[in-house]
Amino acid sequence: MKKSQVRFTRFMGIAFVAVALQACALAAVGTNEAPDIYVLTAPSIDFGQNRPQVSTQIVVDAPEAPAALNSNRIVFQPSANEIRYFSGARWADRVPDMVQVLLVDAMDQGGRFQAVGPRSAGIRSDYLLQVSISRFGVESEGAEMDDVRVQINSKLVRRFSDTVIASRRFESVKESESSRTIDVVGAFDDANSEVLSAIALWAYDEIVSAERVDPAS
């Protein structure tokens, strides 16, 4: 066989391998099903007639969260020392980002504050609401059904003096109707809404109380 024929044969062999590998890669991608994407809803808050509008602007800081919660994966904790994730489901956004958006929405409902937003909104804030997410997952240890636990620590900081005026831990546990993902997400929605509603009302009351004692300049 001539050298040119040898080169041609080798080239065809390499090309065939490359095409075969590419086909395998495309087939592998095609067989991986995309995860189901879930979102949570902002709570509907009733501030009541006893909480009138105040001329206060609030920045809701980006929430802190441990590494296990700092993603869009849905956490499942079968025991106190073990963390797993739902294999075929994801949140639409990272947990801290999702909580921040929903908390801003909750705080802004009813127009009780002059302005509410994240730092990127560029508002002149009188108070800073700092939150850290310590629990945001499904827990099944010792329970007949899966429980969803949402635990958020909150801190209100007065901007002009950089002093903490109040801090509190909020927690809600809701039982899922079943182990189906859609029912688990429903329990997440209930627990998260309960916690964010409590934070919004607490923040309002603490700010009004602080302004009465020591009005911000």
Instruction: Note whether 22 and 111 are same-domain residues.
Output: no
- Alpha helix (H) residue ranges in the chain: 3-31, 95-108, 181-213
| Residue 208 scores a pLDDT above 80 | yes
Using the predicted structure, report yes or no on whether residue 15 has a pLDDT greater than 50.
Answer: no
Is 46 found in the same domain as 87? yes
Q: What domain range is 21 assigned to?
A: 1-32
Number of domains present in the structure of the chain: 2
* pLDDT tens by residue, 150-195: 999 999 999 988 999 999 999 999 999 988 999 999 999 999 999 9
Q: What is the mean pLDDT of residues 17-24?
A: 36
Q: According to the model, what pLDDT value does residue 217 have?
A: 47
Residue 76's closest CA among 134, 146, 144?
Answer: 146
Residues 104 and 163 in one domain: yes
pLDDT score at 105: 95
Q: For residues 102 and 201, state if they share a domain.
A: yes
* Distance separating alpha carbons of residues 87 and 82, to the nearest angstrom: 16
116 in the same domain as 75: yes
95 and 194 assigned to the same domain: yes
Residues 40 and 28 in one domain: no
pLDDT of residue 213: 67
CA 25/CA 48 separation, integer angstroms: 59
Q: State whether 58 and 76 are in the same domain.
A: yes
Q: What is the mean pLDDT of residues 11-35?
A: 43
Closest Cα partner for 197 from 172, 173, 176? 172
Tokens representing 113? 């504050």
Is there a single domain that holds both residue 24 and residue 65? no
pTM of the model: 0.82
